[in-house]
Amino acid sequence: MVLSVPQRGNIFLVVVVCLLAVGICAPFSGHDLQRVMQIAIGLCAVLYGLSVAPAVSLVDRPTALGLTLIIGLGLVSSALAHQPVWALIEVALFVSCAAITLAFALLRRHGGESLDRVLILIVVLLCLIKSIQYLYAGALAFTSGERTLDPDLLLSGFSNKRFYGQFQTFTLPLLALPLLMPTVSRVWRGGVLALLCVWWLIAISGGTRGTWLGMSAAGLVLAVLGPVGRRWLGWQLAAVLGGLVLYWLAFTLLAQYLGFETTKDAGDRLTTTLSGREAIWWQAWHMLVEHPWLGFGPMHFADIANEIAAHPHQAILQWASEWGVPSALCVAVLAWRAGWATWGLLRRRMLCAARVDLLRLCLFAALVAALVQSMVDGVIVMPNSQVWLALVVGWLMALHVWQAPATAALPPAWFAWRVLSVLAVGLLVGVALRDVPHIKHAQQAYLSGEGRHLQPRFWAQGVIAR
């Protein structure tokens, strides 16, 4: 039996949602499991891409040339790197993320507007599950008999609370969509607002300053866009206020009434310190100065061991120091072109209240927030964040309205991309089969040696220098 294109898309979407749910909602989840889930999603994306050929090009010619240049420079940099295999793995990861992006774009193009409702429903369900997990953990903490309350222990599914915060950076803007739609019932709107308040409660208690910074930047950008953007900001501010009230009720009023001492209070995170980032930023800067043209090689910040992290927590410095300044400039130009085109489309359709226009606005807010957070955090490194970044970009690509007529897809270019994506995902699958059976032993060996704590990059123990 031959499946139709929509049926293939439905299978791809169901599998991806299941993989995302396992990677995010499973209590035993963490960085390594999420990386395996990402590789599996990349494999599904490539298989879906092999079964669906676009009638028109998904990107314009400058974007295609820019991506070709980035991949080409990455391959040359990898060949000259100290550890070429790990460098190629990073290039393969970039290609895999591009394949996931294109798969989501194809999925939305063939599935139509009905998939927009499915996307928001998925976001709501994932956030609802995580909120229930958080509230259940809080109830257990208050009834455990312990007199110390640590909000960080209420977070589950991520190996670091900053990674949880990155997930919230992508989903907080999208949760506001039902609140913007005039056709949504009061009951549904009230339920979504309550969920958004709890989601902000978790963001506040988690104390991820990058999430606060990213959402603040997104709010400023959308406020400038027009009335719908200001409505989005109004709902977010209302939810922030609700989250602050819930935080005060739970971690101050109730905790004091029951005699609990709260550690790691969210107010303690309201500082301007860089939390050690200045040291790794300097390391990336020195790498950039020493090898400006091709960098040290993709992933090779992790080849120079330090006591803080295996990546510099700054997207521009990371790309320039590892891939080279020309590649970083190319990435920046492509990101600016795409962002400016989306900004112009949002401005032209700001007075429209159609679901697709409101979704485009929320996706753009998520993208802005994530890119701002990537200036101080590892958004472009963590596996779950990479998948969500690919989803947001891919959906925006599918929703984009081109001013010029779309050009037909070139069969040779599409064939070359298919070959490259198959090779990239094949390499990642091979690495997973090679490393996963020995991950725990490798982590224990690292911690019993010179390592003080795990430094995530590709795997949770991401220092390739050891």
What b/e readout covers 164-179, taking b as 16+ CB neighbours within 10 angstroms?
A: bbbbbbbbbbbbbbbb
Distance CA 166, CA 444 (A): 27
Residue 183 — φ and ψ, nearest 5°? -85, -5
Our CA angle for 396, 399, 404, nearest 5°, is: 110
pLDDT, tens only, 167-188? 999 999 999 999 999 888 899 9
Instruction: Please determine, for residue 407, whether its predicted confidence score (pLDDT) is greater than 80.
Output: no
Contact of 262 with 255, CB cutoff 8 Å: yes
Distance CA 430, CA 6 (A): 30
Q: For 220-287, what is the HEC assignment?
A: HHHHHHCHHHHHHHHHHHHHHHHHHHHHHHHHHHHHHHHCCEECCCHHHHCCCCCCCHHHHHHHHHHH
The pLDDT of 63-70, averaged and rounded, is 95
| High-pLDDT (> 90) share of the chain, % | 73
Q: What is the pLDDT of residue 34?
A: 97
Q: What is the pLDDT of residue 55?
A: 65
Distance CA 399, CA 166 (A): 24
Q: What is the pLDDT of residue 427?
A: 98
Longest dimension (CA), the chain: 69
What band does 406 get if pLDDT is binned at 50, 70 and 90?
low
Q: Residue 166 CA to chain centroid, in angstroms?
A: 6
DSSP 207: T
pLDDT, tens only, 337-361? 999 999 999 998 887 778 899 999 9
Q: Where are the domains of the chain?
A: 1-61+86-111+379-466, 112-265+354-369
Distance CA 49, CA 294 (A): 31
Contacts of 370 (CB under 8 A, 6+ apart): 166, 169, 170, 214, 379, 385, 388, 389, 392
Instruction: Please determine, for residue 53, whether its predicted confidence score (pLDDT) is greater than 90.
Output: no
DSSP helix/strand/coil, 148: strand
- Closest among 316, 336, 337, 338 to 327, alpha carbons compared: 316
Q: Regarding predicted confidence, which is higher, 384 or 159?
A: 384
Q: What is the pLDDT of residue 299?
A: 97
Contact of 153 with 372, CB cutoff 8 Å: no
Q: What is the pLDDT of residue 142?
A: 87
Contacts of 256 (CB under 8 A, 6+ apart): none
pLDDT, tens only, 408-456? 667 788 889 999 999 999 999 999 999 999 999 989 988 887 777 899 9
